[in-house]
Amino acid sequence: MAGQTFAQKVIARALGRDAVEVGEYVTVSAAYTVCQELFWPTHKANLEKIGVEQIPRPDKAVMVIDHSTSAAMGSHHYQTHRTLKDWCAKQGIENFFGPGSGLRHQVMVENGFARPGLLIFSDEGNIASLGAVGALNIPISTEVLVSLIEDENWLAVPPAARITLTGALPFGVTARDLIQTIIRDFGATDRLLGCCVEFTGPAIAGLSMDDRQTILASLFHSGAYTGVMPVDDVARAYVESRAKGRPYWITEADPDADYVLEASYDLSALTPMVTRPPDLHGGVPVEALAGLRIDQATIGSCSGNRLDDMRQTAEILRGRRVARHVTLYITPGSREIYSAAAREGLLEVFSDAGATVLGPGCTTCWGYQGQLNDHEVLISTQQFNYQGRNGSRLADVYLAGPYAVAAAAVAGEITDPRALLAEHAA
């Protein structure tokens, strides 16, 4: 048998075995199952239909209200909030995080649920961001209900791909620009389909924990199943500060592990990117779209709401004003990020610039707030740009990193953020 990849090792450990084969179907118990509220009315109806009174491991359930962060007039979400809160209390689920707590991605990492070597079931592929601390996220969509009821679920051991990162991000370029480049290169192909992507290379040491989560959060748009970063000294220090004595296992692939694909990126060769609608793989250098008038800009979502994103946004906005015809919404990803941004004076910068700061959650990413009218143009750090994502199917959504989004908000049109950054530097 060839050497074991990262995913093989984590799954084998969860099974109590020494090894598993790629493509093997196994039934395994995860360390945690994490869910959000949007599908909970259906989940609850199914639980009642099959007569489930009590789940066996309430300590392994993490329930987060992160999409509908407020129970707004005219919506049904207030009922879902109450239903989920009451169900968690009845089940004895202590890991319940109500509106404003933040996204599941951040809740899992900040509270130390995601730890090296742990297998975690979730309801979305973008929670691959847990791989920044060496955890393996397996997205199982609505089957999270099976994991809650049975404390186990089946999966097929995924193949692995390896992407090596070299160089360093140049001036005005962010981790978001890297993942948009990767999506451009692989998103319209099946070359990464179903893979667990292992990132490696000397450039990772220069990436912050926020950078690593940003890259992994959007990785599923490349066709990948999930992904992971190495647990180096930076990641280990982060984990130690949050694990609270709970166990973890730093896991690395064997040197002779098999990969279905290997690729490399020199970070120093990257440029600010903007992804054109409606294709997620439609990334182009920012100058290709310079001058395109925008109506709205948003900083937020699991691909752009961490403290680094807040800081980069403030770099552009400090001492400037949002263009009169532009609405700018900024959403910190969790209460912890919101508080840190407040302590650093970033919220004041945002307010002085004319931006609106929203409560932690998904907010504008799925159109819960900040909807668009016909023919309006949005530039955003969010995950998706398909027609109708943010209201009108006749509106256009462009995706970019925080520098480019904030710069467009100030200029009133898509523009190269490096020019505005250089003005401050001078």
User: How many residues in the chain?
Assistant: 426
Which residue's entry shows tokens 């450039």? Answer: 203
Domain ranges across the chain: 6-266, 274-418
Domain 274-418 in CATH 3.30.499.10? The answer is yes
Q: Which of 14, 58, 1, 49 lies closest to 251, judged by CA?
A: 14
Q: Is the peptide bond before 58 cis (omega within 30 degrees of 0)?
A: no
Question: What integer pLDDT is reported at residue 76 of this predicted model?
Answer: 82
Alpha-carbon distance values, 387 to 391, 398, 405 (Å): 8, 11, 19
Domains 6-266 and 274-418 are alike in CATH topology: yes
Alpha-carbon distance values, 44 to 48, 52, 81, 143 (Å): 6, 10, 12, 13
Question: What integer pLDDT is reported at residue 91 of this predicted model?
Answer: 95
Distance CA 377, CA 179 (A): 22
- Three-state helix/strand/coil letters over 166-235: ECCCCCCCCHHHHHHHHHHHHCCCCCCCCCEEEEECHHHHHCCHHHHHHHHHCHHHHCCCEEECCCCHHH
In CATH terms, 6-266 corresponds, of 3.30.499.10, 3.30.70.1520, 3.30.1360.200, 3.40.50.300, to: 3.30.499.10
List the chain pLDDT tens, one digit each, 426 residues: 689 999 999 999 999 999 999 999 999 999 999 999 988 888 888 988 999 999 999 999 999 999 987 777 677 888 899 999 999 999 999 999 999 999 999 999 999 999 999 999 998 888 999 999 999 999 998 889 999 999 999 999 999 999 999 999 999 999 999 999 999 999 999 999 999 999 999 999 999 999 999 999 999 999 999 999 999 999 999 999 999 999 999 999 999 999 999 999 999 999 999 999 999 999 999 999 999 999 999 999 999 999 999 999 999 999 999 999 999 999 999 999 999 999 999 999 999 999 999 999 988 988 888 999 999 999 999 999 989 999 999 999 999 999 999 999 999 999 999 999 999 876
Distance CA 132, CA 154 (A): 24
